[in-house]
Homo-oligomer: A and B are copies of this chain.
Amino acid sequence: MRRKYLNLETMMKPRSVAIIGASQNPDKVGHIILQNYIDSSFPGKIYPVNINSQEPILGLKMYKRVGNIKAPIDLAVIAIPADVVPGVVEECGKAKVKSAIVVSGGFAEIGDTNLQEKLVQAAEKYSMPLLGPNCLGVMDPRSRIDTLFLPTFKIDKPKIGGVSFATQSGAVGSTVLDVISHEGFGMARFISYGNAAVIDEVDILNYLMHDEETKVIVFYIEGIKRPKEFVEVAKKATLIKPVVIIKGGITEEGSKAVQSHTASLAGSYQTYEAIFKQYGFTIARDLDELLYYAKIFDTQPLTTGNRIAVMTNGGGTGVLATDALYQNGLKLANLSRKSQLGLRKAMPSIVNIRLPLDLAGDADDKRFTTALDILSKDSNVDAMMVIALFQTPGADSRVAASLIHYNTQMSKPFVVISPGGSYTEVHRNMMESSGVPVYDSPFIAAKALSALIEYARYKRSVGANAKNKS
């Protein structure tokens, strides 16, 4: 019998890993995985296993079978032809291997539900948490586990951080991982779970909601195997931390594509959407949205207030930002009398003292800093949106440094909009790597802020209800 929630801890933080299907051929998955372990300086023990060859590989002793290892194994990574996988899982069970990841494809996703059933039975017989099949496995920059069979030079490496990403699709997974790393915000856990034969959405959500390193959970799902249990866990999860979700197969044709991809039943999206909304999930429509939301939840505190102070060094972008606020359920703050007087005293006469505060094209770091200082302290302001256009004569690294400073000091949400080319990119990188969420355009930034506020309001209302009932 399967436990209600399988634990992923041994899989995410293994002290010893058997790589079954380790190959001398550098093009084979089993070789790439082993190479990646070595490249990532994985601190635990590594045992390559190959039934056909016992030549040492990459300086390590090769084992014929997992049973020959005679040492405790926390995780077996299995990359061998599908038809022999169930037998090898059985062997792992006998050898008391604590968890397994099956990266091999060729199960339910190509119609072979029998073979997948055999795999499930083998895992369940030994109560073994098994991830996959047909998946990339896991990556964790803290424990340095990395089972992805992708050439490392093709994917930027994430820094350590608070975003955990679970994905049914390996391709979506590796792409998002690459973009997250490139944008400079940090990752806690990466889990590609493919066909979800044993470990499924429910186990993963349950694991991540209790995981202290995870600040925000991001999910790409195609179907949900146990809807009732999912709702049960989801209810609790969103009271602890934000969950951003994107569902593949929300149209009829998309759901047909899901069928031939991971053999999930896509189900009616209306049902899913209703569940997601009811339990405070943040729903993304597209891959880029997923990242916009992850970024703000990872770096910013929550607020239930929607009074935004917008400041800009470009008037037109301030206009667009104002439109974007009101289109996304936010509004401009009414500055306190004190702020108004303070700004009037400090700003040159060409600056109109009203929001959006147009600092003008010649604004330098001093003007930015003064305005940031006054606006961030105004109790009528719930969050700040700063448009910093680095194309203007006055904007340089000192402006970026000032934004970083106020993002760190402030206890209110803070977003920056800085579209541009090479010169801007340097400053975006500076800011992003210091935890400032930077966006390409006002609408996206407003959408992200709006999602943050919506989630905070959900948490407050449901949390309050839960209290009243107890």
Contact = CB atoms under 8 A, between A and B. Distances in A.
Interface of A: 27, 32, 105, 110, 149-151, 153-156, 167-179, 181-182, 220, 222, 246, 248-254, 256-258, 260-262, 285-288, 312-320, 322-327, 331-332, 350, 352, 354, 356, 358, 361, 389-393, 395, 419-425, 440-444
Most buried by B among A256, A257, A318, A392: A257
Contacts of A285: 443
A422 B319 contact: no
A354 B325 CA distance: 42
A257 B179 CA distance: 35
Nearest to A331: B253
A154 B390 contact: yes
B288 A444 contact: yes
Contacts of A177: 391
Contacts of A287: 317, 320, 419, 440-443
A179 B441 CA distance: 11
A257 B318 contact: yes
Contacts of A423: 153-156, 178
A155 B181 CA distance: 26
A125 to B, nearest CB: 29
Contacts of A390: 154
A260 to B, nearest CB: 5
Nearest to A177: B391
Contact of A391 (B155, B249, B250): B155
A420 B179 contact: yes
Given A175-B317, A314-B172, A444-B288, A326 B421 contact: no
Contacts of A391: 150, 154-155, 171, 174-175, 177-178
Contacts of A320: 172, 246, 248, 254, 286-287
A261 B168 CA distance: 48
Nearest to A150: B391
Nearest to A151: B393
12 contacts: A149-B393, A150-B391, A150-B392, A155-B420, A170-B361, A172-B316, A178-B391, A179-B419, A246-B320, A250-B327, A254-B323, A286-B442
A27 B171 CA distance: 50
Given A27-B393, A155-B391, A288-B443, 20 more contacts: A150-B391, A154-B423, A167-B316, A170-B316, A171-B312, A172-B316, A172-B320, A173-B316, A174-B389, A175-B317, A175-B389, A179-B420, A222-B319, A248-B323, A251-B323, A253-B323, A254-B323, A257-B315, A287-B419, A288-B444
